[in-house]
Amino acid sequence: MNLTQHPGMPRRPRVRSRVLLASLAAAASLTGQVVAMAPAASAHGPGPSGPKPAPAAQQKLNPPDKDKDRDHGGNADDDGEDWGKEKDKDKKKPPLVVHGLQQFTSDNTFIPPAGVTSVFVQAWGAGGGGGGGGGGSRGRVEARAYNGGNGGGGGAGGFTWCAIQVKPQTAYGVDVGDGGDGGAGGAAGTMGGPGSTGSSGTAGTASSLTRSSDSTLLLNATGGAGGGGGGGGGLVDGANGAGGPGGTGWCSTGGVNLNGGNGSSNGTGGVAPDGIVGLPPNTVVGGNGGERGAGGESARPGGPGKDGGNGYVVIYW
């Protein structure tokens, strides 16, 4: 057997051995790096040559200072759970907000609840009364007998709506206006005589808010005027009474101020201004005027005017 014909055959295993040894050495070197890095990752902070941990990991590595928890007023246990629960409880607690509404249909006192420093007020004055109708004239000849005039309608109360600064637990006087009285109807005429003029209605009074401590007027809604009485029938039909003008509104802080509706000479009372809240029935409006009395051999007296509606006040916060 000629050994010189195959010089490379014995060397191949050695080359493979060297490659295997080099691979094992590289793997050992890499394994050594991993092992060397492992303690740095598990320590409270990264080593000088190690990578920085993520923020979440840093929080896990550095637990909260128990003494700092106690500085917040909580009686923290070992985990600081009491303070955390107290914070969650405070977050869930709703803010203290006081809301309310009071309505007034007669004179009274308003006392703001604790914590209330300003209120909204809507106030309406009372309506004026309608005028009485005039009486008809009386005569034997129908063509010479004439009717009386209709009473004029009363004006509606004025209106104010504004915000007022108030002091909690302090008294404020609320005055609610009284509706005006309707006028009496005029008497019918005697034989051959004219009928009487009806009486005028009276004005409604104001609704207001006053600070009781120093009697300072804060707002005022005046009442509507009364309607005029209808004229008595005579040689001609009596004239209708004049309608009463509506009231006015005023507030010390400005706000919205509206006049009440005017009464008409045909006997219709004035209408109330609108606010945010609805008015109770028959409040604030002017009273209708009384009907005229018919003339003739059976002459009639004039009808009485209607009373005006009372005022109304609403306070809300």
Q: Taking the chain (317 residues) in consecutive chunks of 10 residues, what is each chunk's mean pLDDT?
A: 42 41 41 36 37 43 46 47 55 67 97 96 98 90 80 98 97 98 96 92 98 98 98 95 98 98 98 93 97 92 98 97
> What is the token pair recorded at 214?
């120093």
Surface-to-core class of residue 40, CB atoms within 10 Å of its CB (0-12 exposed, 13-18 middle, 19+ buried): middle
- Amino acid 220: pLDDT: 98
Residue position matching structure tokens 């790096």: 33
Helix or strand run (H / E) with residue 92: helix 81-92
Q: How many CB atoms lie within 10 A of CB 312?
A: 27
Ordered alpha helix ranges (H), 93-154: none
Task: Give the Cα separation of 309 and 206 in Å (integer).
Answer: 12
- Amino acid 193: pLDDT: 87
- Amino acid 71: pLDDT: 46
Helix or strand run (H / E) with residue 91: helix 81-92
- Amino acid 235: pLDDT: 87
CB 185 within 8 A of CB 198: yes
Indicate the pairing of strand 108-110 with strand 118-124: unpaired
Task: Give the Cα separation of 143 and 289 in Å (integer).
Answer: 26
- Amino acid 28: pLDDT: 40
- Amino acid 15: pLDDT: 40
Q: Which amino acid is at 82?
A: D
- Amino acid 89: pLDDT: 56
Task: Give the Cα separation of 160 and 284 in Å (integer).
Answer: 13
Task: Give the Cα separation of 133 and 150 in Å (integer).
Answer: 5
- Amino acid 191: pLDDT: 82
Surface-to-core class of residue 197, CB atoms within 10 Å of its CB (0-12 exposed, 13-18 middle, 19+ buried): buried
For residue 154, give the nearest of 199, 196, 188, 197 by alpha carbon. 199
- Whether the pTM exceeds 0.85: the reply is no
Residue 68 DSSP class: H
CB 106 within 8 A of CB 311: no
Q: Measured on CA atoms in the order 272, 274, 275, 281, is the torsion positive or negative? A: positive
Task: Give the Cα separation of 154 and 289 in Å (integer).
Answer: 7
